[in-house]
Structure 1
Amino acid sequence: MLRTSLTFAKMTESAAKRLKTGDALAIGTHNGHFHADEALAVHMLRQHIPQYAGARLVRTRDSALLETCHTVVDVGGEYDAARNRFDHHQRGFTTTFPGRATKLSSAGLVYMHFGREIVARKLAVPEDTPQVGLVYNKIYESFIEALDAHDNGISAYDAAALAAAGLEKKFSNGGFTLGAMVGRLNPNWNDPAIEDPVAAQAAEDAKFETASRRIGEEFDRDLDYYVRAWLPAREVVVEAYEGRAEYDPEGRILVFKGQSAPWKDHLYSLEDQSPEAGKPLYALYPEKPVPGAKWRIQCVPASKDSFQSRKPLPEAWRGFRDEELSQITGIDGGVFVHAAGFIGGNKTFEGALAMARKALE
């Protein structure tokens, strides 16, 4: 008992000394086994909010030490944004991101309160700019929400519904999720133990820093993509969506004239905004943004992550190429139609458009 008390006192004294070192803010989180949510929460604050640049990390469960920290994430049993307390483990916590049903973790809490500033800084625009809201919501749905669900033990599918339908996984995906990626950076159960408690905590903290950088790299890559590629693509898709009646009276053909851009996400969003409008079935785009490029005709998927097309290309065309394909379709310039019927090609825009119109029949 005496040795245990001395060990705790030594760890407390060491942490207290760390708190007095330097002028940077201190971010507190729990020690022990770490998770993706607090690893990302720390990264978002340190790397994207100037106030936290160079912030010191204090990993402890000692409430007295946590009270000295400017900000606390994933520990402490308190959610109070005014006091910079962002825990989600307390009884009765039910907070969710606006418009979503998944209970937040510390990552979601930090992102909910600081995400608009992060996105606005990346875009170099005011936080109330509409584009900020688009990216802010998209990053939560595409990245943060999965971490919230993982940390709160929420499955992506309704287990009862899966069982009732008799559905089972066809293969193992190795459990490689964002949460698992961070989890495997924790020490192994049979790693040699470090006897000195201060050195042991320092080694554990170093592993956490590695985990925070690793999940942070993925977040930063997503942020960069949605700001630099996904958001500019929206204008391209809006133009094609609004001009589709030029190619089909019912608006079933999208044409991306200059260059193909990530279009599916934006298309479904635009459709949600005008559910009464006819839905596109085919998207046409050049293979390369150069004169004389070949053109592709791609079927619009039934839903975002579906492999099923709203209207596949005709079965009689599938698996054929070049002149043989042209003879079957009766359209010059045939290049190919995939055996699954979800995509095809023609040497010219006129040929691809003719394929789309004929496929509609």
Structure 2
Amino acid sequence: MHPLITYLNAQLPAMTELLTRIVSLESFSADKAGVDDVARLIAQELRSLNAEVTIFPQTTTGDHVLGVFNRGAGSPILMLLHMDTVHPRGSFAARYKIADGKMYGPGVFDMKASHVIALYAVQALQALGQMPRREIRTLFTSDEEIGSFTSEALIIEQARGAQLVMVMEPALADGRLKSSRRGVGNFTVVARGRASHAGGGHERGINAIQEMAHHILAIHALTDYQRGIATTVSEIQGGIAHNVVPDRCEIHVDARANTQADADWLTRQIYSLRPVLPGAQLEVSGKFERPPMECNAERLAIFERMKQIVAPILTLEHGPSGAGSDAAFTAPIAPTMDGLGAVGDGLHAADEHILLSSLVERAAMNALILQAW
């Protein structure tokens, strides 16, 4: 058995206990106090491993945490993680359990198990005297689930010049790494009409909801599964009273694309919408906040090297992910691979869970990459 596996198997009870503590600190993205609770625990754990810790205070989101090992030594590697989840406070008591070799709980898969994996990858290398003489950066952000608006610049700053960015998002359900990511766009479309009485003045009104109905159908018609394009009108607001022709309607559009070319095409299509009803007006705003991470030659070369490095303990595979991640920000500026976190399932769902055995396997995998890259 590989020495890393032997060491980490002995640490599994402690890893499980730490993960339970982190999951119990509920950290819904909008709950700054909850995210900051996780940040304090992560900072404490990093300091126990002799990392140089920097806190980046935020006002509307949780604080970001950076731990640096061996500052200034060699070409840096960045391990990129986030602390926020999609689960509101109160979810832990109803969902947490350990059964059949799995841990269930809010955010355990996305991506609190990755916190434990990253910390124990470093701890194992230190304990076995195999810590590489290179700078290792571990960045824990607070707002990935809501667009990384306060962390994007920090992510780019820490990734610039890195020899490798290890995005610690969970693996695909079968353990594969994520070699491509869909780009994520958010758009707002506002239709404006003219209000009037729905009975006595119906003919004078311009119904903004009716106007928007044409565009909802047009936007959904842009979906093309073969190209990897998906559009979703995910929110709609309009009207003020039952007896008034509505003069305003607003929708939110979630847009996904596998390639930058299709992201650009989709953006042009949404911005080319024009009013249908006489007298109606249309306003469009938004963009692709996260560009696609494409599975190009560089990505395949990174994967092949990782596959060789970790061959002593497991056989790696890779595949596409339909969701976005912070890999979108690092892939254009540094060698990046995603999906290095735990193996599990139920992403963002009530039954979100991980395989506890994957804590050992993935910590060993990440340790080997840190050591040999």
TM-score normalised by the chain length of structure 2 = 0.24
More helix by proportion, 1 or 2? Answer: 1
TM-score normalised by the chain length of structure 1 = 0.24
Which protein, 1 or 2, shows the higher relative CO under an 8 Å CA cutoff with sep ≥ 6? 2
More strand by proportion, 1 or 2? Answer: 2
